[in-house]
Amino acid sequence: MSKKVFQPNEDVKIDAEYMERWLGGVKIHSLSPKTLFDLQTLLSHYRDIIVPMDNVKVSFPVEGFDTACASVDEKKIFIPTQVLQEGKIDETIGLVIHELNHIKHSEKESTLLKVCANFIMVCLDSIFVETSVEGEYLSLKEIVYQGGFNFAHIQQGYPQTPMEEFFSMCIKDVMLLLNSVEDIRIDAICPHNLKKYIDKIDTNSFENFKEHYENGALDDESLMNIVYRMLYHHKGFIHDPTISKRYGDTEYIKSSLPKTYVPTLLKSFKNEIKEHCEEIYNSFSPSQPQGKSQTDEYLTLMETSSNEESFNKMLGEDKSFSDECVEGVEFEDSELDPNSNLENRKTEYQKQEEDNRELAEMPSYMEASINVFKNVDVVDCSEQFTDRYGDTNQINYKTLLIG
């Protein structure tokens, strides 16, 4: 598959109302290297305001990053080229302010990955698949452990087996649920003078969501529909009866830390999480588990036990948090529904959201052009001139010094 490359279009309409104010009213007409340099400068300025004590790197994305994102663990921010390429400069700034607030306020993603993984394992332990031997069943948890499972590969972002890929997809979507609530929280506490950028994003993105919501495309009580409905309900754009009934206290979200609200959030939507994991498993169309000889069963049991022990050991210092999230959680045992498939349940809105995350990589020549401006100093100068009448006039001007 060929890479998408960030290619500024001279004809694209520029939306930079707030950035133009920062530039003293200078109009921005294109995504020139100078504009992109000014954007980097402004983002660095906001970085120093939001996270002054952290050495956070703000950069354009490279291969592997498909949307605005932040790493709390690594203290990195990536600018979404897709939004930039559409000329939405203010929204780009808003997304990065939002991600910087994640670094300032949010729990480390390494911790949340473990919490979600542990919760998912409990879900999978209640879903059973019939093997090729009549009357013999395995839980999806057992199938995951037997199918080659090393959680370290998932933590590193490089799943290497089908079962690791399946589990990685489950975690990603459960993390989206957590992220939707965290977005509500951190946007609510964003400084007022910066929140205008985020409000602009929300207002514009809601217009697309509103059409799908009102025509009933998001009525199904699926995990991903709940993620989107949760966000717009608590940001005040809609009143969703389901969200209001099951997780409707906006003030609780705003005033709580992740270690307080995450356990209640996961438990509130445990059945939707279980169903979603089942749909993802079916979308892989895995082969039916086989019956084994006594020797094979013994070796498989040893491998399963070893993988489970390794997984539990991995929880480490986050085990108490993970345990709190599953404390008192009970799932009714059920047989895998072969007709439940994730791809078949995706709404047009969800597909559209996924398409919008496609990466447009910043080409090296453009990065070089942007970086040239880092060596430019603007110096205020003045000079006095005497005209032919003997009057003295002072002329003020600026000089560019390229190092």
At 113-172, the pLDDT tens digits run: 999 999 999 999 999 998 877 778 899 999 998 878 888 899 888 999 899 999 999 999
The CA dihedral of 188, 190, 194, 199, to the nearest 10 degrees, is: -20
pLDDT of residue 205: 92
Q: What span, in angstroms and rounded, lies between the C-alpha atoms of 117 and 167?
A: 8
Cβ–Cβ under 8 Å, residues 329 and 270: yes
Q: Look up residue 317 and give its DSSP letter.
A: G
| CA dist list (Å): 248 to 253, 270, 330, 365 | 9, 16, 23, 49
Burial of 156 (0-12, 13-18, 19+ CB in 10 A): exposed
φ, ψ at 127 (rounded to 5°): -110, 125
Tell me how far CA of residue 161 lies from CA of 146, 148, 327, 338, 391, in angstroms. Answer: 11, 6, 30, 22, 83
329-387 residue pLDDT tens: 999 999 998 888 888 888 888 888 776 655 555 555 555 656 555 655 555 566 665 65
- Residue 195 CA, chain-centre distance (Å), reads 19
Query: How confident is the model over 199-245, as pLDDT tens digits?
Result: 999 999 999 999 999 999 999 999 999 999 999 999 999 999 999 99
Tokens of 103: 């670094």
Name the least confident of 26-30, 33-37, 113-117, 287-291. Answer: 287-291
Q: What is the pTM of this model?
A: 0.83
For domain 4-105+360-374, give its CATH number from 3.30.2010, 3.30.70, 3.40.1350, 3.30.160: 3.30.2010
CA-based angle 139:345:136, to the nearest 5? Answer: 20
Domain ranges of the chain: 4-105+360-374, 109-355
Output the pLDDT for position 302.
Answer: 47
Determine the pLDDT at residue 341.
86
Confidence of residue 403 (pLDDT cuts 50, 70, 90): very low
Give the pLDDT of residue 362: 57
Which single residue is written with the structure tokens 């390429």?
A: 85
2, pLDDT greater than 60: no
pLDDT at position 9 over 70: no
Closest to 202 measured CA to CA, from 227, 223, 231: 231
Kindly tell me the burial class for residue 256, based on how many C-beta atoms sit within 10 Å of its own C-beta (0-12, 13-18, 19 or more): middle
Give the tokens for residue 66. Answer: 């498909």
pLDDT tier at 64 (50, 70, 90 boundaries)? very low
Sequence letter at residue 34: K
Q: Which pLDDT tens digit goes with each residue over 236-283?
A: 999 999 999 999 999 999 999 999 999 999 999 999 999 999 999 998
User: What pLDDT, on a 0 to 100 scale, did the predictor assign at position 62?
Assistant: 46
The pLDDT of residue 373 is 54
